Chain A
Amino acid sequence: MVSNDKEKDLQQPQILSIEDDFGIIRQFIEGDKSAFQILVKRHKEKVRNIIYITMNNSALVDDIAQEVFITVYRNLKHFRFESQFTTWLYRITVNRCKDYLRKINVRKIFSPLEEGSEITEFATPVENNDVSKIVTDAISKLPVKLRMPLILKDIEGFSYQEISETLNCEMGTIKSRIFRGREKLKEILQPLERELMQ
């Protein structure tokens, strides 16, 4: 069992480190199932938030997050300690979100977007001038390949290196997608500039 003090320490997001995750995973592999619950506690909010912003639908968050952690639970014993646990965790999260988005909009997601061919949907003025909601809605209008890096960078604060590992893409591609995501977001938000400034 993990002692109470240890559990308390590990719940502080500020001091999350690879070593802590590795230690907990080792305990889990050695048979301490309660270690998994600690792992979930440490990472669930970040996972839930990535899902929330990606899907722009709070009703789906916990279902998807549960699937993510169940996948982790089933595969954790094979974890090889070669890369950060979080890289693997967020990759599963991103993939699950993509699965759901694909289910929601089979056609759009499956036809690969040609370079420069993304259709920009402009935001429409809303009565409710909740800036955060307007921005979240606008992010959800971005093509998935621009949306994911932007969310990981601007909302979750990942470094380009971390995003590149999570999304399994070259750094140059990530750099370009973040830039294009921001540009596209600006276009989408353009008609709402007045609301946003209020």
Chain B
Amino acid sequence: MSKKNQIIELLSAYLDGELSQSEKDEVERLLATSLELRKKLEDLKKIMQLTHNVKRIPESPYFETRLMALIEGQKTNTGKIKRWLPASALVLVTIAVMVALKINPDLINHFWEDQKTTLAGFYKENLQPVLFAANLTNEDIFNFAFNNELPLDNSRKQYLLLGYDDSGKEFFEIRTADEKLKRESYSEFISVMNLNEAQKEIVDSIIGSYGKALETQVLVNNKNTIAINPNLWNYRKAIFADLLIAAEKLNIEKFNRIVPAGITNEEKIRVVNAVERLKTSPEDQYIFITPDSVFTDTYEFNSELYEQELKKLEKELKRNEEKLEQFTLSIRFDSSLKHLTLDDQLNHPFIITVDPNICRVDIPELQISEIRIPDIDSISPLIEEATNNIQFYAYKVPKVERSDSGIKFKYFDGDSVHSYELNYSELNIDSIVESKHQFDLYRLDELKSGKPFNDSILSKYQFDKDYYFRYYTDEELQKQMEELQIELQQFGEEMKNWNIEVHEEVTKSLKK
């Protein structure tokens, strides 16, 4: 380092009060004589002023409560609450759901007047389906089936995300556009399946047939209530399964890449039954999120009347030459949390998490039989596999599979699938530990127990779909995946240097 840099470096430590007395004296002596150094000192001060004023993240008052619930859950694995209670008496969280409907709401309001029930009272008044105004496109519906994400308004400012936590329980999140997935998966699906225009039209018509039904699954009103039908989770699977059956008919060759084992007749019957059931017997249980509570209750929805009203609305709009373009929905959440004890939190059926961009509601195991459709549940693994394979081929997302005996890495490159397989039994732990590679010191125990890399390698190469899809554009994602492929290749090579036998395999994929 040059003498000049050494002195400047001392300036930085000088400002931090981290110099010895002699160093400090030296710096002050130089400062008195050098304009340049004084200027440098000023620059450093400015930077420090900026960094000192960086805003901190808002506090999370119930972080430890959720953490303890998580730890408890991991310990017992059965300690989850199975009760299903109307939560009106459990006033835990204040969630202010502010809904602004900017189209003329009176057009359909009187219809809802008839729908009032004295039981649910105040919060159930004037509930309106919100998704009709979002003008769901086929792309939206496909994204919902594939990525679990639905836009809540036609300006695409807020999204509803459905998900499953580690234990398989449902949750949903309302997210702002900033947190939206960047992928538009429909075109990727068409390209992986290699479908022509006419075939795409068939897929379009299947997707389109779900539009109307989806619209009534999310309701909102001017009482700051949002009601979500738990059947949305079933719809998501049904749409996807329905599309897979169609895909098989349209291009069996490409379909076999996505679902290598194929779909059995029995599974097809299950899908048809589930779709039929969803479309003909609507679920009248909704999850209500209101300013004071989250609860579940029935709500009858008259879809015939709804359709009539929609037609009227369309005519009215046409006459006034208005458009729905300006429709925006704004749901804001304000968490002014009461003092919760751990017991309160554990006894409440819902776990609610709010941050400036996301409101998440974890749903306990639902004891409502209608929501569990066995036909749908049994095809879940198929859907899971197809989703992973579409990502594997469309985005070249590598796969890391763990089995009892080892780890297998696979990636798709050009038209071939490359794979490496490592067996735990062949790992020479001593040579790995002695090598210069870094190990997580907190996980050394795992190395000794004979199952090395239990998580460190898996987490290194595991593809975090949600993260990448949310924050990366197509181009960036492609680049990342290519880099990941190179990493995997190198990893295979490194393994060989560690005296570990690596099984390599290259399989030509089916021709395009």
Contacts and interface: CB of A to CB of B under 8 A. Distances in A.
B67 A69 contact: yes
B333 to A, nearest CB: 14
B67 A40 contact: yes
B163 to A, nearest CB: 13
A73 B69 CA distance: 13
Interface residues of A, number: 54
Residue in B53, B56, B66, B462 with the greatest tally of chain A CB atoms within 10 Å: B56
A105 B414 CA distance: 23
B64 A40 contact: yes
Interface stretch (B31-39, B41-49, B305-313): B41-49
B16 A65 contact: no
A75 B355 CA distance: 30
Contacts of B67: 40, 66, 69-70
Nearest to A182: B47
B339 to A, nearest CB: 13
B53 A132 contact: yes
Contacts of A139: 51, 54
Contacts of A45: 56, 59-60
B169 to A, nearest CB: 17
Contacts of A150: 51
Residue in B8, B51, B67, B70 with the greatest tally of chain A CB atoms within 10 Å: B51
A185 B483 CA distance: 27
Interface string B45-89: 001101111111101100110111011001000000000000000
Interface stretch (A1-9, A21-29, A153-161): A153-161
A159 B18 contact: yes
Contacts of A110: 487
B64 A186 contact: no
B12 A136 contact: no
Interface of B: 8-9, 11-13, 16, 18, 43-44, 47-48, 50-57, 59-60, 63-64, 66-68, 70-71, 74, 179, 342, 353, 355-358, 440, 442, 459-462, 464, 467, 471, 480, 483-484, 486-487
Interface of A: 36-37, 40-41, 44-45, 48-49, 52-53, 57-62, 65-66, 69-71, 73, 75, 92, 95, 99, 102-107, 110, 131-133, 135-136, 139, 150, 153-155, 159-160, 175-176, 178-179, 182, 185-186, 189, 196
